[in-house]
Every structure is written in structure tokens, then in C-alpha cells.
Amino acid sequence: MTVALTGITKTFGSVRANDGVDLVVGDGELLGVLGENGAGKSTLMKILSGFQPADSGRVSIDGHQISLASPADAVAAGIGMLHQDPLVFLPMTVLDNYVLANPAQGDRRRGRHELAAAAGRFGFGLDLDTPVRRLSIGERQQLEILRLISLGVRVLILDEPTTAISVTQRAVLFAALRTLATDGTGVVFVSHKLEEVEELCTRVVVMRAGRVVGERAVPCSHDELVELMFGRRVDPEQRPPSLVGETRVRLEAVSVTDPLVPLHPVDLEIGAGEVVGIAGLEGSGQRQLLRACAGLTPFASGRFTLDGTDLTALPYRDRLTLGIRFLTAARIEEGLVEGLTVTEHVALVDDSGGGFVDWDEAERRADNRIERFSIRGMAGSTAESLSGGNQQRLLFALLPDRLSMLLMEHPTRGLDLESARWVWATLLERRGDGTAILFSSSDLDELLIHADRIAVFYAGEVVDVVEARLIGADRLGRLIAGAGRAAG
């Protein structure tokens, strides 16, 4: 069975997630789809597996066009998707999850028999009677694979499956995928991890900014793949070292426990007015570090000091009073309040005492900030009515004038060029105030141009901390992709 995607296009607002993508996968193939975050891989796979409709383009099987209105349609056509965090019923047992609504399993006893046999065949050690919520992500994936196979899936898509599984489980998974390919099932392995794609796949398709930029047979040149993934970058001109003041923030052997990506001990120092960028593939620990520094999750070990004061166990709201602020990537879910106007937001963060709100004054202040921060919107506009760029401007407008430490997650994600430039111009001013800035980004240019130093994360660890002006884009890309780390 050959599955072909032709001319797939999908736009979200102003972002073109997929731009005329063509892809073919055939029987028994181990196809890798490689690309950075935001390259459009996930969107493409969601379309292929029926979770989302494409704006234009078609999906065909063996030359016949098919329509995919729902995941069930896709499965019926033989295409199944394994999510990073599979859609399972947590309180139910492994067997129940396998059998639920599975037409192939007439009765439970037969289902048990078949599941046990299949699990054994692939080397999956699954206890059929444990509730799935006690299973690790890797084991849940194993269950899902077996279920999809039993439904007669001929093309199995795996979306970033190795993000949260152990090394041993990864080995088991890869062995299973090879067995499947030998059986004639097509496997589409979507990932941003170069070395895994190199290890498993026979052919690689590289995506960038919504397009397919290259296709290679594996084995092939590693550097070539890196270049395709990240694009040829012009190294920023050597710039003089920026004036960084005394160390303000000290992270000593801090670690964070997390069910998905535990953060191993990290040492980092940030000086006054210094901008440190955190680079790394999605899910490498950046989020965990930022949230722990903000005080939203606790540090499992280590010390976090600001200007010499130990803040490791300080609750979130107390950190706010010390001038630590955190801007997340989810501007509406965890940033602005949907349904509240600009004026209301301004009034909300205003801590100049008083139980009563002077709405006239608040509106005046809101207008003032709208002007200062060039927000395209009115005092009475609700947060969700603003565009992404303006939402980000509003979030900045709500920050107090002086900050000790500013933490940001993907500060310019989804923003147009003008807004992105504006963000960094604003942040430059903050540097002058002596604020320590720590931000995560998946945009190499942003990291190279604006950061003083870059800490590269991989699989929950800091691989290296480099001076931005001294590192080249190629080497940075390689570090991010895990080069220089022994696999496992």
C-alpha cells in the first residue's frame, strides 16, 4: 500500500504550517520526517491521520484519493497515528484499553490471548491487568501500537515518540518498528532528533518552515541533514562583548522532577543586564527550568539565589514582589485573562494600593501604555481580540518598570517580524536596568543575535554553555540536535 500526500497546505491565522507539501510512503518503508519545531511536521501528520482537515491538497492510497474527516476514517483506510502521549483511558486496564470499541476483538478472552501474543512478539513486557495510568509513557505507546496493528493499520505514524521514554524502551520500540517494516507496514517516524532518524530510517524527508526542503536516503551525510534542518545561516558579525554587571542570579545544581522530562542538575550564572538564551529541541528541559525559576514548580535539589538571597523555596507570589517575572509561551492560557479588557489588565497588575479601582485613571494608564508600547488596540479591547503580536506587547506593558529577573518562554514565537524586533528593542532597554534575562527559544537567529550566552539543553541536561558571539550557527545547530552527546 502506498500513501501519497500531494500539495498539502494548511494555514493557521497568518502562519502557513504546511505549504504545498508532497510526501510518499510505501510498504515496509521506514521513513523519517525530520525538522525543527514549527517546521510543520505535526500538522502534516495530523492531516494524514484524520485529526485535522487540510485547506487544500489531497491524500491518496494506491493512487485513489481518499477523504479523511475523522481519525476513524484514517484508521479504516489503514493509517494510524501514535501520539507522543497516547489517547488512552487512564483508569482502565491495559486489556480494556486494547479491547474498547475494537471490532477485531469479539470477546475479551480472545482479545487477551491476541494481545499477549502480540506483546510477546514485539518484546513488549505489558501486564494486561494494570491500570494504564500506572504505565510509563513508553509502555502506553507500546499498547497503542499493538492496538493500531490489530485494527489492520498498514501505515503507522509516530509523532515524536521518543520524547519521554527511556533508552531501553527506545531500543524496544525501534526493534518493534523494524519488525513491523519487515511485515510490510509502512512506518513514518516524525522527529527532530537527527541521530534517531539516522539510526532507524531508510529514507529521510526534511521539512523547514512548512515546506519539504530535501529528501535523502539513509545513511547520508550528517552535516547535510543539519544544514537542511536549520538552513544555511549567515554567522552574525563579530560583535564586541556586551557590558555585563555582577552576577545576580546563581543556579547551583538545580534539578526538577517532572513526569515527562526531568531536569538533571544545572549550574548557571546570570549577570546584571545579561541575556542568556536557552536553546534546545522541544521538551529538553527548558520549560522545566523556567517554571522552577519562576516558582510555579519546586526545585528538587540545588540552590537558586538572587543578589545573594536564597530563593529556592520561595513561593511564586513572593518572587513577584522581588521583581521576578515570567512570560509563558501560551499568551492566553497562561498570560492574559480572556474576556478582560486592556484597562482591566492594567488595573489588575497595578499595586498602588487602595481597595477601589479608579477606572478613569486606569483607562488613562491603559491609553498611556498602549501608546508607549505601540499596542494596536483600544483600552476597551479584550485580550483575545488582540493579535498575537499585540498580546505580547500588552504582556510587556503589564510588567513593572524595574525587574530583577525576567524569564521568558519563546518571546517571539508566532510574531511578525516587526513585533519581534520591537520585543528585542524593549528587552535591550531592560538590560540597561540591570535585569537578568533568561529566555528559551527555538529560533537560532534570535539566540545568536540577542543572547550573550547560550545554554544548550538536550534530554534534560545542559550540554554546553557557549558565548553567542563566538559560536557559529552550524555548530549551534549540531549541539541542539544532540551531536556530541553519546546516544543515551
| Contacts to other proteins from residues 174-213, by CB under 8 A | none
In the complex, minimum distance from the CB of residue 71 to other proteins, in angstroms, rounded to a whole number: 4
217 binds other proteins (CB under 8 A): no
Q: Tell me the pairing of strands 15-25 and 30-35.
A: unpaired
In the complex, minimum distance from the CB of residue 265 to other proteins, in angstroms, rounded to a whole number: 27
| Contacts to other proteins from residues 49-108, by CB under 8 A | 70-72, 75-76, 87-92, 96, 99-102, 105, 108
Residues in the chain: 488
Only one of the segments 230-238, 343-351, 417-425, 435-443 lies at the binding site for other proteins (rule: CB under 8 A); that segment is 343-351
Only one of the segments 4-12, 223-231, 347-355, 443-451 lies at the binding site for other proteins (rule: CB under 8 A); that segment is 347-355
Closer residue to other proteins in complex, CB, 228/394: 394
Query: Distance between CA 43 and CA 276 in Å, rounded?
Result: 31
In the complex, minimum distance from the CB of residue 204 to other proteins, in angstroms, rounded to a whole number: 28
165-170 contacts at long range (C-beta below 8 A, 24 or more positions apart) = 165/136, 165/137, 165/138, 165/141, 166/136, 166/138, 167/487, 167/488, 169/136, 169/138, 169/139, 169/142, 170/138, 170/196, 170/488
145 binds other proteins (CB under 8 A): no
290 binds other proteins (CB under 8 A): no
Closer residue to other proteins in complex, CB, 242/382: 382
339 binds other proteins (CB under 8 A): yes
**Amino acid present at 144:** E
**Cα-atom radius of gyration of the chain, to the nearest Å?**
25
Q: Tell me the pairing of strands 436-440 and 405-409.
A: parallel
Cell, residue 277: 538564551
Closer residue to other proteins in complex, CB, 111/477: 111
In the complex, minimum distance from the CB of residue 94 to other proteins, in angstroms, rounded to a whole number: 12
409 binds other proteins (CB under 8 A): no
> Measured at the alpha carbon of residue 71, what is the angle toward residues 67 and 73, in degrees to the nearest 5?
40
Helix (H) or strand (E) holding 366: helix 359-372
In the complex, minimum distance from the CB of residue 394 to other proteins, in angstroms, rounded to a whole number: 12
Closer residue to other proteins in complex, CB, 356/417: 356
Closer residue to other proteins in complex, CB, 99/462: 99
Query: Distance between CA 45 and CA 65 in Å, rounded?
Result: 17
# binding residues, other proteins (CB under 8 A): 50
In the complex, minimum distance from the CB of residue 240 to other proteins, in angstroms, rounded to a whole number: 37
Cell, residue 337: 485573562
Quick check: helix, strand or coil at residue 252?
A: strand
**Amino acid present at 97:** N
336 binds other proteins (CB under 8 A): yes
Binding residue (CB under 8 A) for other proteins from 241, 355, 432, 488: 355
Please tell me what DSSP assigns to residue 382: B
